[in-house]
Amino acid sequence: MAVLDGQRAYTRINLPVLAIFNVPHSPAFRRTMEDQVKAFEAQVPHVQIVRIANADHYIFRSNEAEVVHDITVFVESLHKK
């Protein structure tokens, strides 16, 4: 929320960044998540955003295989740069 509220600026992160978000079932929460994504992208322009549908707040538990896959793909992409 600090990023969303502009309380903390992370514009000086110069490393590759992977951010994984769950896509909430509720439209209101979905808007909040998209606002968070937009704020993150504005402050960290080179971020790679992954959205995973049908996930719980503890996305690494509810969608473990997808999270591990996305992290693996991200890390492997670093070796190509």
pLDDT digits (tens, 9 = 90+) for 37-66: 888 888 887 889 999 988 888 899 999 999
- What is the distance between the alpha carbons of residues 71 and 79, in angstroms, rounded to a whole number? 13
Residue 21's SS3 state is: strand
Residues 6+ apart with CB under 8 A from 8: 2
According to the model, what pLDDT value does residue 54 have?
80
pLDDT of residue 34 exceeding 70: yes
According to the model, what pLDDT value does residue 4 have?
59
Structure tokens at 57: 């707040």
Residue 66's SS3 state is: helix
Domain boundaries, the chain: 1-16+26-47, 50-81
